[in-house]
Every structure is written in C-alpha cells, then in structure tokens.
Structure 1
Amino acid sequence: MLNFLPIMLQLAAPAAAQPLPTLDEVQFSECLTLASKDPASAISNFSLWTQQKGGYLARACHGFALATDFKFDLAVPILTEAATLAEAKGDPRAARFWAQAGNAAIAAGQADIAVDALGKALASNSLANNERADSEVDRARALVALGKNADGEAALATARQLAPENGAAWLLSATLARRLNKLPDALAFIQTAAAVLPSDPAVALEAGNIAIAAGDDDTARKQWEQTIKIAPNSRQATTARAQLAALAAASPAPKDEVQSR
C-alpha cells in the first residue's frame, strides 16, 4: 500500500471544529482506529453501518478498512462513493477521500481510475501542501503506468516543489529519469533522495541501478551491498542480491586468475 494510513487518520475530525461531535463522527473515529489495528474486524463490525444509511463517513471508513486489509479492488468503488457524497455535502474531506480512492486504485492496478480520482482531489484547495505532494506522486505513478511519462515527470516536479522533504518524490523522479535514460537527472535526484531518506533500502537499490546504468560497477556493487545491510530481509535486499549475482557473473575474472589456469 502507498500512503493510505497517515492521510486517513487525519480524517477522524472534520476540517472545521464542531462544539460536540455527531454520532456519525464518533463512529467514524472509532472505525478508523479499529481499522488501523484490525481491518478485518472493522470490515465486519462497520459494514452494517454502511448498509444502515451510514452515509459517506461509513463508506469512507469501510473503504479504508478494505484497503488496509489489501482488498483494494473492493475499496475503490466504496471510497469513490464516499468522495462523491462528501463533495455533494460540501465536506472538504472529500478531497482526501478522492486521494485515497486514487491511492487504492493504483494498488488495484486501475491506473485510469486513479488518475481521475487524484485529479479531483487536486482540484480542491482543501489539501495541505504535503497532501498535495503525496497525491501528485500517486498521480505520477498512475500516469507512468498508462505510458504518459512526460505527464508523470511534470507531476513529480510539482510534488518536489510542494514538499521538498518528500523522499518518495525524489526517489520516483530518479527511477523515471533512469528509465528514460536521463542519467544526469537521475543521479541528481537520487542524491537528494539519499539525503532525505538516508536509511531507505529502496533509495540504495535505485542508486545502484543508476550507477550500473552509468557503467559504474563499483558504485553499483557498494549500493546494493548497502541495500542488504540496511534491510536484509526486505524485497529490496532480495533484488539487490540478484543484481549482485548478475554483476558477478558478468564480470571478467581477475587477470592473475586467468593467467594461473
């Protein structure tokens, strides 16, 4: 999953403070808390709330619970409905519901739906800059998945401008630049990503990928070894081990070893 949990937990209170929370607001807060800890139970306990005219807050939390439980394809239509209903009621949280519908759609492999939902989120002025940056990063993912690389680059540039501390924006910018063979840009982006996320295995892995693309085998080897050191049991470490094995297999034997045979 991408950035679902932090944004959804911001939704437990309405944007404009109320003297006393309504029953729906209380249930929404309780649902989000349970969903973040035990999404399966939240789905079971609060799906009935959705069915009993719980409104868009019930749908938003039901969708959040489904996505947290990795049921992204089921979460997308429910979150979309929540966003649509919230928008009709003038609730500024609609933008966040749209953002999370887009986030879930990316995870579900529905890039076209993601672009549409994220565009609606970004059309609102109710998102803070860091939230807008996260949505631009997600939109870039979806655009690249649709083969719209130039639009993806533009979205990432906007994300970097909105939130220079957003490490994902720099990392994805580096990855996309490498894939487009823009290696000087890729190197600049990954250097910033490493400064922002100094202990992230994905950053070290990508730094190795950029180095190998630039023909710098030694740096690539060091970065992939660093990936394994940072998080030995991660999927990035698994990829790094495979990359190191491929590099070793492709490297010529040392000169003295050849002569001794």
Structure 2
Amino acid sequence: MLLLSLLLQSAVPASAQPLPTLDEIQFSECLKLARTDAPSAMAQAGEWTQKSGHYLARACQGFALATDFEFELAATIFAEAARGAEAKADSRSARFWAQAGNAAIAAGQMESALASLDRALATPMLDKGERADGEIDRARALVALNRNAEAEKALASARTLAPENAAAWLLSATLARRGDKLSEALAFIQTSAALAPKDPAVALEAGNIAIAAGDDSTARKQWEQVLSLAPNSRQATSAKAQLATLGIAPAPLESR
C-alpha cells in the first residue's frame, strides 16, 4: 500500500500552514489509531461520518479498512473521500484517488483501479515520487489486464519520474523477461539491485532472468541469496522451488 504519509503531505511548509481545524486534528488522530487498531479507527470514522459526513472521515475509514485488508470496501470509501475533497478543492483528492486505485488492485478490480489512478495522475497535485508510485500501480493493473505495451510505457514514466525507485526497475525487469527481452531485463535488474541490494524480490528476479538466459550458475547464486536475505519470505518459497528445478537442495542456513 501507499504510505500513510501520502495522506498528510502538503506542498506548503509547516511553518506557513494555518492552525489545524478540529476536523484536521481528528483526521490525524484517526489515522494514527488506524495504524495500531484498525477496527477502532473504523468505528470512530463511522461515527464521525454519521455526524458530519466529512470527507476526511471517509479517508480515515478507507485507510483503516485497507489496513485491515478490506480492500474492496476501502477502494469505494477512498473514492468517496476523493470526490468530497475535489468538491472542497482540497489538493489531497489526488492522493485519495491514488489510494483508491491501490486498494482496488489489492481487491483484484483492475479496471476500477485504472480509473482511479488516471484521475489521480490527471491532476498536478502529486509530486514526482507520488506520480511514479501511481504509474507503477497503473503498470501492475495493466499487466493483469494483459495490456503489456501500456504497462511498459507506465513503467518508463515511473523510471523517469523517480530513477531512485527500485520497484520501477524491478517491475520493468520482470515485464521485459516475460517478453523475452533479456538484455533489457538484465539492465533493469542490475539497476534495481544497485538501488536495493538486500531486497529478496530483486535477487529472485535476478535469478529468474539468469535462468532464462541459460546461466544456471548465476541463477543458483541469486536464489540462494534470497534464502539468506529472507528465509521465511514468500520469495524464499519461490527460490526453493526454482532451486529444486535445478536439482539443488538449499543448504542449511548455518552452513552459509
């Protein structure tokens, strides 16, 4: 999910901001509660919504739902918050649309996700990093819809907007490998590895690219690195399965 900070960021320096309203204070407190006690935050936001119908209440409710893995409902609530913010000319509407898109992806609603993300990206209200995250999410939805050419363009945009974003390079590598563009995939994964050398997802994909290129030795080293970096992760489960295809049993961790 997109970071909680996306809901709180402002283009105006803190020293220049007006004193927060009661709604803003309640919003901030509700978000903090959602991080540690999502059900209580949902109840609080629901009461707030019934009393005032404020879009910030809906935004907090959406975040609490997403935190509690209720992604389908979270996407709907975030969209309501975004429309409410738009009606009040609140620049956070773009971030709420981005949150709606992110939640819709998690719920498997790719067309809905694209609609929300396109609304977020159609405004000038997101900074470069946020726009890059939005493009990455668009690419994820587009790949799920088998619209790979469009996904490649979205990822190219993300890499340009935020060249330090390792996820953009990683997803670009994966998509290039699936399209049998192995030289591109290798260049992308090398950049991702330089940006995130201890990310097991990067090591896993590096192994996948190596095996696709016929380099069994490098593939084995990369997949074993996954096991060293994150032995209990889902990437480790995939790496073990890949090593098994090579007829290699992973060595015990203590021997590494």
TM range (shorter): over 0.9
Asked if residue 154 in structure 1 is aligned to residue 153 in structure 2, the reply is yes
* Partner SS, residue 52 of structure 2: coil
Which residues of structure 1 form unaligned runs of 5+? 250-261
CA distance in 1, matches of 2:228, 2:51: 51
Give the distance between the partners of 2:132 and 2:235, measured in 1 at CA: 24
Q: Could you tell me how far 1:14 is from its partner in structure 2?
A: 8.4
Question: How much has 1:236 moved relative to structure 2?
Answer: 0.4
User: Does structure 1 residue 101 correspond to structure 2 residue 68?
Assistant: no
Q: Which digits, 9 at most, give the CA deviation of each residue in 1:171-229, with x for residues without a partner?
A: 00000001111110000000000000110000000000011111111100000000000
- Tell me which amino acid in the other structure corresponds to 1:200: D
1:42-53 residue pairs with structure 2 within 5 A? 42-53=41-52
CA shift, 1:19, in A, is: 2.4
Q: Which residue of 1 aligns with 2:87?
A: 88
CA positional deviation for 1:46: 2.1
Aligned partners of 1:73 and 1:104 also within 8 Å: yes
CA offset digits 1:105-132 (Å, max 9, x no partner)? 0000000011010001001101110000
Tell me which residue corresponds to 2:109.
110
Do the aligned partners of 1:208 and 1:221 also contact (CA within 8 Å) in 2? yes
TM-score relative to the length of structure 2: 0.92
Q: Report the count of equivalent residues.
A: 246
Contact 2:45 2:58 in 1 (8 A): no
Q: 1:85 to 1:14 in 2, by over 3 A?
A: farther
Q: Which residue of 2 aligns with 1:136?
A: 135
Please name the residue that 1:255 is paired with. none
Deviation for aligned residue 1:45:
2.2
- The residue aligned with 1:235 is 234
CA distance in 2 between partners of 1:219 and 1:66 (Å):
42
Change (3 A) 1:15 1:32: farther
Residues 1:35 and 1:5: Cα distance change in structure 2 (over 3 Å): same
Q: CA deviation at 1:15?
A: 5.4
Q: Offset of 1:47 from its aligned partner?
A: 1.5
**In the alignment, which residue of structure 2 is the partner of 1:208?**
207
Report the residue type matching 2:196 in the other structure: L
RMSD between superposed Cα atoms in Å? 1.5
Deviation per CA, 1:120-166, whole angstroms, max 9, x where unpaired?
A: 10011011100000000001101111111010000000000000000
- Give the SS at the match of 2:184: helix
In structure 2, the partner of 1:168 is: 167
Aligned counterpart, 1:78: 77
Q: Match of 2:254?
A: none
Query: In 2, distance between residues paired with 1:19 and 1:45?
Result: 25
Say if 1:140 and 1:153, in contact at 8 Å, map to a contact too.
Answer: yes
Equivalent AA in structure 1 for residue 181 of structure 2: K
- CA offset at residue 89 of structure 1? 1.2
Point out where structure 2 has 5 or more consecutive residues left out of the alignment. 249-256
Paired residue type of 1:27: Q
User: 2:135, 2:157 within 8 Å by CA — same for their partners in 1?
Assistant: yes
**Aligned partner of residue 52 in structure 1, secondary structure:** helix
Contact kept in structure 2, 1:173 and 1:189, CA below 8 Å: yes
Please give the alpha-carbon distance, in whole angstroms, between the structure 1 residues aligned to 2:102 and 2:185. Answer: 25
- Equivalent position amino acid for 1:117 in 2: S
Q: Please report how far the alpha carbon of residue 54 of structure 1 lies from its aligned counterpart in structure 2 after TM superposition.
A: 3.4
Query: What is the CA distance between 1:3 and its match in structure 2?
Result: 2.4
Checking the alignment, whether the CA contact within 8 Å between 1:31 and 1:61 is kept in structure 2 is: yes
**TM-score using structure 1 length:** 0.91
Give the superposition deviation at 1:23. Answer: 1.0
Structure 1 segments of 4 or more deviating over 3 A?
13-18
- Deviation of 1:21 after TM superposition, in Å, equals 1.2
